[in-house]
Amino acid sequence: MLNSKPMKKIKPRIITLLILLLVSTLNSSKVMAGDPEEDALASLVKESSKALADYQSTKNKTGVLKYFHEKMVIDFTFISVNGRVRNERISYEEFSTHLDVFSHERMGRTHDIEVFKTFVNQDIGVVNYTEDYEVTFGEEVLTKGSQVITATAKKFGNTWKIIRITVVEMESEKFKGSCLCELYEGTSATGNFITKTTVPGGKNYTSNMNHFTVVKKNRGTVLINMDGENFIWENNLNIFEAKEDGSKGKKIGIGTNSNEVIQSLIKFEFSEQCTDLVLRK
């Protein structure tokens, strides 16, 4: 017959602790359950944000506006990746018009919301939350950022509607967007130009210098050298890449004067970073 060791007695203090943990676990669903009105407010901002994020594909304008009161106001502060600050106040009507414009764009937006706190005082509620987002064009990510948002809502009958929003949006990364090109013209006989192009570069903007030499050939043909790469401008209109033997290659744009030609070449050079290009002389 095998000898069995006597079981150790569990100390009363440990038993008490186990009971407390068990009771805490059993009651966790009750503790975690929030106030119904606070839950309704949290759902309001999540659903409205999702409806707005999905709007480009759904085009359901009523499905977005139903969460907002017709006297709603948005105070919006935008901080770009290069530190520039823009402030706007947007009315319900302006917001509605923006949706009409946005419905024709090809850009989409993803979102990830985290609600931090909700406050309810009778028929007024306030929600504080953050939203991380990505703006996309097809499968391409154009920009990333985060918003810190405070939404104020009022209950009308049994329905909560947003009456005011304060948004601070900080752009964290920008991979593609509007670019600025500054053009400087030289005085040499060959018609030299220098450009400084500011393009999105992820966590900041980068400045790029390009040098151009313009040489007129015969029969309306102009040879343009951009940092060692040659292009052919033909008959004051079509622009082609130049092959090694000097013949025309792929057409890359058009231009009726030197400025337009250089703008086309800069667009071609930075096509992966620039959605549009502003030329400043």
Query: In this structure, are 99 and 198 located in the same domain?
Result: no
pLDDT at 14 over 50: no
Question: Do 196 and 255 fall into the same domain?
Answer: yes
**Token pair of 149 as six digits:** 């948002």
23 has a pLDDT exceeding 60: no
Same domain flag for 163 and 196: no
Are 43 and 164 members of one domain?
Answer: yes
In this structure, the strands spanning 177-185 and 274-280 are parallel
Domain carrying residue 268: 177-280
- Residue 138: is its pLDDT beyond 50? yes
- Low-confidence winner among 12-26, 115-129, 132-146, 239-253 (lowest mean pLDDT): 12-26
Rounded to 5 degrees, what are φ and ψ at 46? -65, -45
Phi, psi for residue 16 in degrees, rounded to 5? -60, -45
Q: Is residue 5 part of a domain?
A: no
212 in a domain, yes or no?
yes
> Is 121 among the domain residues?
yes
Compute the average pLDDT of residues 45-68.
89
- Mean pLDDT, to the nearest integer, of 155-173? 95
Last residue of a domain, one of 115, 148, 174: 174
Q: Are residues 76 and 134 in the same domain?
A: yes
Shared domain for 166 and 210, answered yes or no, is no
Same domain, 184 and 168: no
In a domain, 128, yes or no: yes
- pLDDT, residue 10, reads 47
Q: In which band, very low, low, confident or very high, does the pLDDT at 15 lie, cut at 50, 70 and 90?
A: very low
In a domain, 22, yes or no: no
Q: How many CB atoms lie within 10 A of CB 117?
A: 11
Domain presence at residue 24: no
pLDDT at position 34 = 65
185 & 148 share domain: no
Are residues 122 and 196 located together in one domain of the fold? Answer: no
Average pLDDT, the chain: 83
Q: Are 156 and 253 in the same domain? A: no
Looking at the structure of the chain, the number of domains it has is 2
Q: Which of 143, 174, 205 is the last residue of a domain?
A: 174
Q: Per-residue confidence at 188, pLDDT binned at 50, 70, 90?
A: low
Residue 126 near residue 152 (C-beta atoms within 8 A): yes
Identify whether residues 156 and 261 lie together within a single domain.
no
Based on the domain organization, do 151 and 54 belong to the same domain? yes
Strands (E) across the chain are located at: 68-79, 85-91, 107-121, 124-137, 140-156, 159-174, 177-185, 193-200, 205-216, 221-226, 229-234, 238-242, 248-254, 274-280
